[in-house]
Homo-oligomer: A and B are copies of this chain.
Amino acid sequence: MINLKQKKANFVPLTPVSFLRRSAIAFPRKLAVKDDSVSLTYSELYERCLRLSSALSQVGIGNGDTVAALMPNTHQMLEAHNGIPMCGAVLNALNIRLEVSSIAYILDHSRAKLLIADAQFMSIAEEAISLANYDVRLLVTPSDSSADHSQLSYEAFLASGYPDPTAPKIENEMSPISLGYTSGTTGRPKGVLCHHRGAYLNTLGNVVAANLNQHSRYLWTLPMFHCNGWSHTWGVSAVGGTHYCLPRIDPERIMETIVKEGITHMCAAPVVMNMLLEWTEGKDFHLPSPVRILTGGSAPPTKVILAMEELGFEVIQIFGQTETTGPSLIREWPEDWGTLEPEYRAKMKTRQGFQLITMDEAIVGKPETGEEVVRNGKEIGELMFRGNTVMIGYLNNQEETDKAMLNGWFHSGDLAVRHPDGSIELKDRAKDIIISGGENISCIEIEEVLYSHPLVRNVAVVARADEKWGEHPCAFIEISRNAGKINEKDLIEYCRQHLAGFKIPKSFIFGDLPMTETGKIQKFQLRERLQQENNFGDLEKEI
């Protein structure tokens, strides 16, 4: 009897680009973004995005077309996050550290029609385009080092558009908004397609998780190309906060900007927190007002959390994947964290927690049946998600999509336990678990212990082939700068105080660890090293 049909007045496809329009209405003259080159109000930022959208439409780019972006954290990168989806196109934000061949592969795989590149990456962009099998138009955004590339000028392109008030032109909220290529494995990257509906909801979920509001001053150290900056590219704009962009990770500039601009929020991988801590060493530094720092990418070690909190940061762990449109777990705590003993608080914060309010379900269970593990903090299962912020699928890869979305769940590929309080704790990537003498050993547990050693700066534990046990834990150790001598014997002794015997690494390798630019230790490289070298004698020497 009741007509449930969507009407023009009561149904508008959800899209996170709607948030910028709203802030241009509510906060037209408020500072939206400040980077090394300009400051823009919400009115100005919105107009530039409308121009970008219209200019794209004029050259025939629209629904479902891919536009790639190769840029650090700049206002142009924020514009790409809004202007490209406004015309129906799909934003493919490229990791700026990728080698030319990978960029060329992605341009081909995504059939990108246009690449917007920062001038500092112009030669890489040109080379990648020349390697690609399809025509890709190049636009270059100015940077200090750039000459005038009038033919390729992003600014001239924007000027060719006009502020089209009918944008965004989204008809189906399940249509793609972004395409992100996953890295970290040795195979070819997969293109993760996320939809407007999921990006809209994940943005709101992260606004609530980060507790952003119009007074928020958000510092961009996390690359925007990383899961659309964990949705804060849209979220900070949604609440009318201000984006402060830093083009690279520089601890001194980060700390200076925090103090000078009154930063309230930022996101950073644990490795960035490490860099901030090292910078403060020997300095009498304390934040003038608290900064909420959301961390993820890998579990933050207890001692890093403690040290950050001493500086005045409030550390909150989140967890997500490109496939879940960014952060989808958050470490909630029922009361004020401040009432807890610091050590206990930091320990509790190393868990990944609970689904964001916009992710319907997160469970740890058997991937075949969805049957959940016992909530005892011990039984290991796969972390699985169901909800509106799960991706559309992998571009042109039905097989992997079907595998990832089997039985109505998104399979994260991460192994986890569930504690009696319901919180989820990641143990490892499925393939990172070590099976030694039939016992499952979590690399993260061992890493956590080694991280707590005062002289250890970074650590990665991986499985190493073992004639007797099948596998054993092998620890790669990077010692703190200016730290004293330390050797295998010391570390074994230290582990013995905190770990069951079968979990103690049987080999230690000292040296710098290979990192992604977002601070993830590239364990696959360490595994490759172990496989490639028959004689490990050289590796195991102390540095």
Residues of A at the B interface (CB closer than 8 Å) are: 1-12, 14, 18-19, 22, 25-30, 64, 172, 174-176, 193, 195, 198, 204, 207-208, 211, 213-215, 238-240, 332, 334-336, 353-355, 357-358, 360, 385-393, 395-396, 405, 408-410, 421-422
Contact = CB atoms under 8 A, between A and B. Distances in A.
Given A9-B385, A25-B354, 16 more contacts: A2-B193, A3-B393, A4-B172, A4-B176, A7-B390, A9-B386, A9-B409, A12-B386, A12-B387, A18-B360, A26-B332, A26-B355, A28-B422, A30-B335, A204-B208, A239-B357
Contacts of A25: 354-355, 422
Contact of A64 (B2, B208, B393): B2
Given A10-B405, A208-B207, A240-B332, A392 B4 contact: yes
B392 A174 contact: no
A144 B391 CA distance: 52
Nearest to A43: B422
Contacts of A28: 421-422
A339 to B, nearest CB: 11
The majority secondary structure among interface residues of chain A is loop
A29 B333 CA distance: 11
- How many copies of this chain does one complex carry? 2
- Of A25, A336, A408, which is in contact with the most chain B CB atoms at under 10 Å from its CB? A25
B176 A2 contact: yes
Contacts of A1: 396
B174 A26 contact: no
Contact of A9 (B29, B208, B336, B390): B390
A228 to B, nearest CB: 17
A437 to B, nearest CB: 35
B208 A10 contact: no
Contacts of A390: 7, 9-10
A238 B335 CA distance: 15
A410 B10 CA distance: 8
A386 B10 CA distance: 6
A332 B2 contact: no
Contacts of A207: 208
A332 B27 contact: yes
Given A195-B4, A354-B26, A388 B421 contact: no
Contacts of A395: 2
A201 B462 CA distance: 44
